[in-house]
Amino acid sequence: MPLDGSHLRSSIMLPIIKERKYVMWVLLMIIFSQPYHVDKIDILGTYSKKEVCVSEQKRAMTIGTIVKTSFGCVKIEGIKRKP
């Protein structure tokens, strides 16, 4: 008999809810007004693959911005239940 409780689910016919993990990458532009003080954060884009986000980050950095600006890709994870 399995130890994960699956034998109980099948005997009383409870629905099995499958969960899918979704990942999104967000490209941020952070503008500093002074050291360690953030003036503004802008979302430049959202992507499903890290490689695309990093590519867009490199492209944004070549455009030319003010000195106190940083760019970065942030991973956002969540779980969405399948209906």
pLDDT by residue (tens digit) across 4-20? 555 554 455 555 666 67
Domain assignment of residue 74, yes or no = yes
15 conformational bin, left if phi > 0, alpha if psi -120 to 50, beta if neither:
beta
Domain assignment of residue 4, yes or no = no
Domain assignment of residue 57, yes or no = yes
Number of domains forming the structure of the chain: 1
pLDDT-based confidence at residue 67 (cuts at 50, 70, 90) = confident
Q: What's the pLDDT score for residue 47?
A: 95
CA distances from 77 to 10, 29, 69, 74 (A): 31, 20, 25, 10
Distance CA 15, CA 75 (A): 31
Range of the domain at 61: 17-81
Distance CA 77, CA 22 (A): 6
